Structure formats: C-alpha cells, structure tokens
Structure 1
C-alpha cells in the first residue's frame, strides 16, 4: 500500500476509536495519571526553591494526562491530527518559569504523556527511573545546605572587619559593598547548613550595626 492510499484510507475512515478501544484508552490514561502523580511527588520531594508552588506541581499531573489524551486522539486519524495541530498552534503560554529545573519537570511530564498515549509503557517507566536517579544524585538539597544573602547596614570602617570575622569558619563571599554617606551596605553570600544561624546574632551584637537581613538565594533573589 502506497503512502497516498494510506492517507486516503485514514481520511475516509473517520472513526476516532478505530485503533484504540475503550479499554486501551482507559489503561493509557490511568497509567499517565499514575506517572503524573509520581512526577508530582518527585518534584515536591526535591524542590529546592523558597516557596513551593502547589499549582505548578498539580499542573504536572494535568499536563501528563492531557498530552496522553492528545496523543491518543491524533494517532487514530489524519484528519483529527491535522485539526489538533491547527487548534494547538494558536495557544500561547505567557507564564514565566523562574527555575530552569521546572522546565525539566514540564518536559518530563509532556513526554511521559506522549509515550503513555503511544503505548510505550516500558520506555516511560525506564525513563522515569533514570530521571529519579539523576535528580536524586545531582540535585539533592540536603547535602550542601542552603545559600543565603546577608544584607547588613553598618557604620565605621572597623565594623566591616568585625562583621566578616563573625562568620567564623563558614564559607562566604562578598557580593557587593555600597557606601551611602556614613552608612555602608554589605551583601554577603553565606552557606548555611541546617539551622546554624549563630553568625546572625553575633553580627547584630556588634556596635554600629543597624540591621541584618537574610534572604535565601537560589539563582535569583527571593524574599
């Protein structure tokens, strides 16, 4: 059968469920739902940002199921597939993704839905195992502690030296130093493991220190 005959047969046969029966569709959607929940749990477990977005996490589940549905629809008929492409091409998403790792989860969810809709369950499960292992090894947030930016306002030259000594053996880097009249603003990046914030109390007790603000840092400034 030539390609022309195959396209003609697909166009003439408009039965949506000619390839997939109801049982196979239900199985594919159910597996996509389970894998979407798995992605949600992995995202919640390894999330390293400041504020966990439950709406984004739930979106991962819905994205997995919806892409599975679209794959099931377009794989049955050429007419439906062309209609889907035309309909989806007008959709524009304006939501900004701040963490690049969120793009990884989104793409993981979309590809999982596609492979589940195509019936490639073994490939989907194998990819999920590899992804979980990779994230657990390279993006665990518990091993190296959290990064904070300490913003300190003080007066006097010697006060700055006392502030740096207050960090002790902690790993820190001076990010910026701004002088406005007699007041100096010092921004220091410091690595904190657990709840070890002893340096904050030491800095506050230094004479001529006006205030100390700690901001968790994760690639961007987050309050």
Structure 2
C-alpha cells in the first residue's frame, strides 16, 4: 500500500461516521447554552447607546446554525467540500458598528464549531474562561465611564460664562461649534464619571453647585440659569477620549 493510499484511507475513515438524532440535539443544546452565556456577558458589558435585541438573537442563532453545519459535514467528505464551496460565495454587507460586536460573533461561531465537532467540554470550559477574563477586564478598565454629548445653544453674549462652566467639568472635549448671526451652537464630548467614580462624582458636584439630584442629567441644572442660554441637551454617547 502506497503513502497516498494510506492518506486516502485515513481521510475516508474520518468521514464515515453516522449522524444520530441524539448527537445532533446534544450539539445544538450545548451551543445554545454557550450562546446564552455569551449573551449574558454581552448584556452585562454593553456600553453602546442603543441595545439591539436582533443582535442578541443573531448570536444565539449563529452558534446553533454553526453547530448544525459542522455536525452535518463531519460525516460526509463530499458534502463537506461542497459546503466549503457554497459558503465561500456568501458575502455579508451589514456593517458592524462596534469592533467588540465582531468579537462576540466570532465567539459564537467558535462555540458552534466546537459543539458541532463534539468537543463539548472544551467548548464549555473555553467559553467560561473567555467570559470571565473579558468581564474582569471590562470591569477594571471601562465600568465607570459615562460619556455624553452636551449640546449648548446660546446667545453670543453668554459665551464666556458657558465656556467657563464647561471647563469646570471633570473631562470635556469640543466636538463642533457653529455660528448663526448672534446664536452659537457648541457640542462637547464630556465624561461625568471617570475610572474612579466617587472621586469624579465629587469633582462634578463641586463644579456644578446648582446640581440637585443624583442622576447624570443633573448637569443640565448647572447651565439652565445662564442668561442668554436658549437650549441645552444631554445625549448618551459612546466613544474613546483622546488622551
């Protein structure tokens, strides 16, 4: 028997397994459980403006569908080659806004691949380790960041007072400024609470003497008594400050 025959026989042997309903159900169930854990981590660490339920459902379906595909092609060599060719022509045009969302999608796909290949223990333990590491990393670096867009529309005579009060905030960055006759509209990127929540909150309270409540929107009270102020808005925002 030649070397090529040995390779051929070993490859064919790997694809002669049979698929049972029980094995398929187990793979789908394991991938579903892991997907729920991935969704749990995603919801706990979500920092965007709008929470997308469709993306969460996509993670769950992506994991289970991947497990089904891997389970199907693992028993048939011809089918696996055909599946590779079919999937190679698929193109996804939907843009993913947050890079971390892409990572969660790859995580779901990887979990589905491992579950479909029958590596249940590796899939469960690996996902658990990834989730714990990511959650701890998130809590250490980003948990207390609350970023907003502060939009101020005011008369030009109020500019000095507006700038003075903005500069007293814990952290700010001018994003845009426009003029229309005697009216100015300025947009600032602000961070009310930094990594040290208590310290930053205290600094914000000292700067904003007029604040009354315990909510982030209290910052609006800091500007409302300025003469010439026409409008002030606070918009939830997610971005990284340039250091």
1:35 counterpart residue number: 34
Q: 1:180 to 1:138 in 2, by over 3 A?
A: farther
Structure 2 CA distance, aligned partners of 1:83 and 1:120?
24
2:45 counterpart residue number: 46
When normalised by structure 2's length, the TM-score is: 0.78
Q: 1:100 to 1:10 in 2, by over 3 A?
A: closer
Structure 2 CA distance, aligned partners of 1:8 and 1:163?
75
Structure 1 CA distance, aligned partners of 2:162 and 2:227?
10
Note the C-alpha offset of 1:113.
Answer: 0.2
Note the C-alpha offset of 1:101.
Answer: 0.9
Note the C-alpha offset of 1:105.
Answer: 0.7
Note the C-alpha offset of 1:104.
Answer: 0.8
In structure 2, list runs of 5 or more residues that go unmatched. Answer: 194-213
Note the C-alpha offset of 1:119.
Answer: 1.6
In structure 1, list runs of 5 or more residues that go unmatched. Answer: none
Structure 2 CA distance, aligned partners of 1:102 and 1:138?
16
1:88 counterpart residue number: 87
Q: 1:196 aligns with which of 213, 216, 225?
A: 216
Deviates more, 1:131-140 or 1:64-73: 131-140
Note the C-alpha offset of 1:9.
Answer: 6.5
1:182 counterpart residue number: 182
Aligned pairs, how many?
A: 214
Structure 2 CA distance, aligned partners of 1:199 and 1:22?
59
When normalised by structure 1's length, the TM-score is: 0.84
Note the C-alpha offset of 1:5.
Answer: 3.5
Structure 2 CA distance, aligned partners of 1:143 and 1:160?
34
Q: 1:143 to 1:29 in 2, by over 3 A?
A: closer
The answer on 1:217 being equivalent to 2:237 is yes
1:2 counterpart residue number: 6
Structure 1 CA distance, aligned partners of 2:87 and 2:33?
25
Per-residue deviation, residues 1-22 of structure 1 (Å, max 9, x unmatched): 52233456678x6xxxx34433
Structure 2 CA distance, aligned partners of 1:198 and 1:162?
18
Per-residue deviation, residues 12-61 of structure 1 (Å, max 9, x unmatched): x6xxxx34433322222211111111112221222111111111101111
Structure 2 CA distance, aligned partners of 1:98 and 1:200?
29
Q: 1:128 to 1:10 in 2, by over 3 A?
A: closer
The answer on 1:60 being equivalent to 2:64 is no
Q: 1:126 to 1:10 in 2, by over 3 A?
A: closer
